[in-house]
Amino acid sequence: YTCPQGNTLKTNGTWYNKSQGKNRNDTKIQHFKTNECKNCPVITLCTKSKYGRVLERSEYAEYIEQNRKN
């Protein structure tokens, strides 16, 4: 993934469990981020977080993208 400033967001490779609510199975997600946000002049255009932009990608993201194309 690439931010609007052209910086690459990377994952540390760890899968995290994200709760989907009561009586539902957890979903595994990965976080993608970059350290470049700390010095970015337009950080407020990407995120409200002072720590920078973080994208979450579900274990099912690839299948969701394929389904949207069809």
CA distance linking residue 29 with residue 38, whole number of Å: 24
Confidence (pLDDT) at 10: 95
Confidence (pLDDT) at 46: 86
Confidence (pLDDT) at 28: 94
Note the pTM of the prediction, 2 decimals.
0.75
Q: DSSP 3-state assignment of 7?
A: coil
- Asked whether residue 10 is assigned to any structural domain, the reply reads no
Residue 27 domain boundaries: 16-69
Confidence (pLDDT) at 22: 76
Confidence (pLDDT) at 21: 76
- Asked whether residue 60 is assigned to any structural domain, the reply reads yes
| Listed residue (31, 8, 4) closest to 18, CA to CA | 31
State the total domains in the chain: 1
The pLDDT averaged over each successive group of 10 residues in the chain (70 residues) is: 90 91 84 91 88 91 89
